[in-house]
Amino acid sequence: MIITVNNEQKEFDRGTNALDMLGQLGGDLKKNALAVKVNGEVQDLAQPIEGDAKVDILTFQDEEGRETLRHTASHVLAAAVKKLYPETKLAIGPAIENGFYYDFDRDESFTPEDLVKIEKEMKSIIKKNDREVRFSLPRDEAIQLMDKRGESYKVELIQDLPADEEISFYQQGEDFVDLCAGPHLPSTGKIKAFKLTSIAGAYWRGSEKNKMLQRIYGTAFTNREDMDEYLAQIEEAKKRDHRKLGRELDLFDVMDEGPGFPFFFPNGMVLRNVLEDYWRQIHREHGYEEIKTPMILSRDLWERSGHWDHYRENMYTTKIDEQDFAIKPMNCPGGMLAYKRRMWSYRDLPMRMGELGLVHRHEKSGTLHGLMRVRCFTQDDAHLFMTPEQIKEEIIGVYKLTDMVYKLFGFSYKVELSTRPENSIGEDAMWELATQGLQGALDELQVPYQVNEGDGAFYGPKIDFHLRDSLGRTWQCGTIQLDMNLPERFDLSYIGPDGEKHRPVMIHRVVYGSMERFMAILVEHFGGAFPLWLAPVQARIMTITDRADAAAQNLKAAMEKAGLRVETDLRNEKIGFKVREAQMHKIPYMLVLGDREAEEGTVSVRTRGGENLGAIAWDKLIASLQQESGARALERNWENA
């Protein structure tokens, strides 16, 4: 048989597996190989190849290679738990981004001390370098095998599979067998570095109606250096946790009295308002008009939009005058009514309507996470209505606006284009036009992007932006979606050059995504040390003696008149204590006033990073801070005057 491997054609005997091929090819690839992709399908290195094929060898540099290693590590975890605590029942254990987990049903709770024991047992299994042997059974025999082993969760999973399907398992060593579709590493010894990181609760199959299981998280790498670097990054992420910093910096919090409904405090409102003011400014500059639609709208509207039938379990509903109403989970239907209020001409298009709209969704309690996942949030929605000929130009405009915003905050990002899914609605011609509009805009902008075939919304293709923060983590925020569903459902139209009614094309788009989530991302991205223009308190004036108090108040008044956010610290404390406290609060500038500075009309300036800029005249300092803040600079862009 002819195998194309690494872009070279080689001849091998039928039934040869990738391990044997790599042995014949030589080099370091066999040592680094974790799995193989045969004609696009990922499989074990030991699985025979039965005919001509294109073969890609997967290493840790490939996403599928990393998943294979970490998925195998999850099974090593399960084997170790069964060895130490035989009464434990196994649930599921997938690879996830940056790691893996396994869910267990055990009467006693796992403790940090247990994790140490489990890690030791995992090391023993890995050292043995047990082979991972795949085998399959008919469904009935598979059920018998798992039932005999007392694995009731596995039995339930098998029972949900088609009756005629062969069920695959992996045997590791002499005793451990687990239900799994694979792929796995050829043996456990390829896991060169791993760490169990945490314990959490998780409902079986994600349903609150089911039993709460214990989930053990971990991560795995092919070398210790990469793992240590990752674990150091995790520790840094814990320090930057927006929930922790939100409380420490008095920005926001989520309280027991309102799970999923965040409170914003004065400092948080300053940050939020600065973001909203910037949003309004750039949208005015880009030809958007701001609207506001009601939070509560009638059942008739949500039936027309399709939400009442397909999204009702996530909606909060109420009755008014004995009629059904719902608190909006999305702004889009209100935007449709705003467009529909009058008849438009093609000369009026494109029309760009933006809304900072507060929406409510009933998220499960187990999914709530600070500001990242809440039950009420403000989306920076915009709905753009246009003729088909205007699609590409409008997409380019939205992309440029989004790119400008992300660069301002120092984010890099990657772009994904998702195309028509199987359960789509609409005509083929319109889908082709919409997809070409998105793709044509990206190509014209020379933007590198990844195509996700069949991953678009049912109503249209979309572009997603995935931000990369200062710790290298990615966040899906902005999106551009072409919608061919709602304009049809709401019978939207415009009068064309021919005097006839035509259906407009609509774009949904968000840039921040939601104010709450974007604020959380910013807190973690900057570690709470915001650039001057975002900092709730931009400077703190602190006195050495009470003789400088009057000068401090005068300086504060002058700075506030110049539009700067400043506060004073006139307490009878040592100046070193005041400076350290201001640094802990991550205030960009500390302005120290003593007798000499008060007399000379200067102030000693220190940065939160510990840099001493020396004595600066008040007017020069104010002008410099105005310049830095007004430029929305990420760092100081002026020298000691």
* Active site positions, annotated: 332, 361, 379, 381, 383, 462, 508
Question: Which residues, including other chains, have CB under 8 Å from residue 218's CB and lie 6 or more apart?
Answer: 73, 74, 77, 99, 100, 101, 194, 195, 196, 197
Distance CA 339, CA 609 (A): 50
Tell whether the torsion through CA atoms of 247, 252, 254 and 258 is positive or negative. Answer: positive
Which of 248, 229, 247, 226 minimizes the C-alpha distance to 237?
Answer: 229
- What single DSSP character describes residue 195? E
* DSSP E strand boundaries for 518-636: 539-543, 566-569, 589-593, 602-607, 612-617
State how far the Cα of 299 lies from the Cα of 297, in Å rounded to an integer. 7
CA dist 330 and 307 (Å) reads: 9
User: Can you give the C-alpha Rg of the chain in angstroms?
Assistant: 30
* Cβ atoms of 548 and 541 closer than 8 Å: no
- The Cα 528–Cα 587 span in angstroms is 9
Task: Give the span between the Cα atoms of 79 and 128, in whole angstroms.
Answer: 13
The answer to whether residues 101 and 94 touch, using CB atoms and an 8 Å cutoff, is yes
Please give the structure tokens belonging to residue 398. Answer: 């939205």
Distance CA 183, CA 161 (A): 18
Contact of 56 with 77, CB cutoff 8 Å: no
Tell me if the bond preceding 329 is cis, omega within 30° of 0: no
Q: Where are the alpha helices (DSSP H) in 379-470?
A: 391-408, 428-444
Q: Is 65 exposed, middle or buried (0-12, 13-18, 19+ CB in 10 A)?
A: buried
Antiparallel, parallel or unpaired: β 539-543 and 412-418: unpaired
Q: Which two tokens stand for residue 574?
A: 């040592």
- Give the C-alpha separation, 468 to 57, whole Å: 28
Closest to 617 in 3D by CA, of 598, 636, 603: 603
* Exposure b/e, 449-487, CB count within 10 A at least 16 = b: beeeeeebbebbbbbbbbbebeeeeebebbbbbbbbbbb
- Rounded CA-CA distance 474/97 in Å is 11
* 61 φ, ψ (degrees, to nearest 5): -75, -20
Work out the burial of residue 68: count CB atoms within 10 Å of its CB; fewer than 13 is exposed, 13-18 middle, 19 or more buried: buried
* SS3 label, residue 380: strand
> What are residue 506's phi and psi, to 5 degrees?
-125, 140
The strand pair at 539-543 and 505-510 is best described as unpaired
> Where do we find the tokens 């085998």?
135
Spatial contact of 376 and 260, defined as CB atoms under 8 Å apart:
yes
